[in-house]
Amino acid sequence: MWLVLILSMPTENATARTRAWRSLKALGAAAIRDGAYLLPDREHLHAPLLEIAHDVEQHQGSAHLLRAEAITADQYALLFVRDADWNALEDAMHALRQAFVIQPIEDSLKQLRKLRKSTHQLADIDFFPNTHQPQVMATLQALEHQIHQRQSQGEPSTQHHEIQHLDVADYQGRVWATRTRPWVDRLASAWLIERWIDKTPTWLWLDSIEDLPAHILGFDFDGAAFSHVENHVTFEVLMLSFRLNSPVLQRIANIVHALDVGGVQPVEAEGLEQILRQLNQKFTDDDQLIQASHAVFDSLYLLFQSTTGASS
């Protein structure tokens, strides 16, 4: 089944006509003739199409939203092939991979954000995906990981072992060590440790991870007590280790995972990344940076708690 929106507007109302066209383009609609636009019959498309129709009628136009079964369905599906768009995005990703090693990291991150946004926008309107979509998504994730590794030197490699369940009572008043100038995963992990695991931690910032004393707990570097395991970043490993299975914490974990190693980003990820970057630039002292970032994660936790109705 298909959705067909048929529009007719006075020629003098160029503003409303342009607004309708831009909205239809953002939805991924195909024009099958002048004033007639086609989309697959998907539930999430009904409301925005009705909104466009209502706007047109409010500006002295006419609009008809119809459901239709097309005899030439395969031919209509060809109108939604996005191969050229996916190829263009992949070319842009390869260009950034060549450039990010020599250009300022801020420029690379800005370009990466644009590519990420464009990729997810295209995925939203790729109604009949083929092999191009997962291929480009994988390329984006690899690029994100490479740029984040350059931004935060010494990123841990992935370990492969079972995550043991631990008791928070055994981890009070400990010294917790990680690499200096903490970034997203380490900032979030420090917040998780202090708020949910060790109420009185002492932080140690390492310029070198060599010769770490046995009584000190390391996190987010190779050889640390808590670091990346399988597909889990350090924040997630800490959650699993201490069985912190709150849905609110899981929402934060989804953001941390995406910002640290790439993948589909929750809508809050870009804002959190920009806030933490500003804090990183403002505070050259890592202890001050940690405390400032704690306030950010506290606020994010309260926001998610209010929207999920969870108590912990």
Percent of the chain with pLDDT over 70: 96
pLDDT at residue 211 is higher than 70: no
Percent of the chain with pLDDT over 90: 64
Q: What was the pLDDT predicted at 71?
A: 63
Task: State pLDDT tens for residues 96-132.
Answer: 988 887 888 778 888 888 898 899 899 999 999 888 8
Compute the distance between CA of residue 312 and CA of residue 309 in angstroms, rounded to an integer.
Answer: 9
Task: State pLDDT tens for residues 222-273.
Answer: 889 999 999 999 999 999 999 999 999 999 999 999 888 877 788 899 899 9
pLDDT at residue 311 is higher than 50: no
Taking Cα atoms as reference points, which of 207, 200, 108, 186 lies closest to residue 151? 108
Compute the distance between CA of residue 37 and CA of residue 22 in angstroms, rounded to an integer.
Answer: 12
Taking Cα atoms as reference points, which of 269, 244, 248, 245 lies closest to residue 193? 244
Residue with the larger pLDDT of the pair 71 and 95: 95
- Pairing state between β 202-206 and 175-179: parallel
pLDDT at residue 72 is higher than 70: no
Residues in the chain: 312
pLDDT at residue 310 is higher than 60: no
Q: What was the pLDDT predicted at 302?
A: 96
- Rounded to the nearest angstrom, the gap between the alpha carbon of residue 150 and the centroid of all alpha carbons in its chain is 19
Both structure tokens of 222:
């190779």
Both structure tokens of 204:
């140690």
Q: Is the dihedral of CA 175, 178, 181, 185 positive or negative?
A: negative
* 66 — pLDDT class (breaks 50, 70, 90): very high
* 24 — pLDDT class (breaks 50, 70, 90): very high
- Asked if residue 87 lies in contact with residue 132, where contact means CB atoms within 8 angstroms, the answer is yes
Taking Cα atoms as reference points, which of 128, 148, 172 lies closest to residue 220? 148
What's the whole-model pTM score? 0.63
pLDDT at residue 312 is higher than 60: no
How many angstroms separate the Cα of 209 from the Cα of each of 86, 163, 176, 291? 41, 22, 12, 23
Compute the distance between CA of residue 55 and CA of residue 60 in angstroms, rounded to an integer.
Answer: 9
Q: Spell out the residues 6+ positions from residue 196 whose beta carbon is closer than 8 angstroms to its own.
A: 168, 242, 244, 249
| Section 192-201 average pLDDT | 96
- Rounded to the nearest integer, the mean pLDDT of the chain is 90
Taking Cα atoms as reference points, which of 250, 248, 247, 300 lies closest to residue 273? 300
Q: What was the pLDDT predicted at 152?
A: 64
* 23 — pLDDT class (breaks 50, 70, 90): very high
DSSP for residue 309: -
Residue with the larger pLDDT of the pair 228 and 145: 228
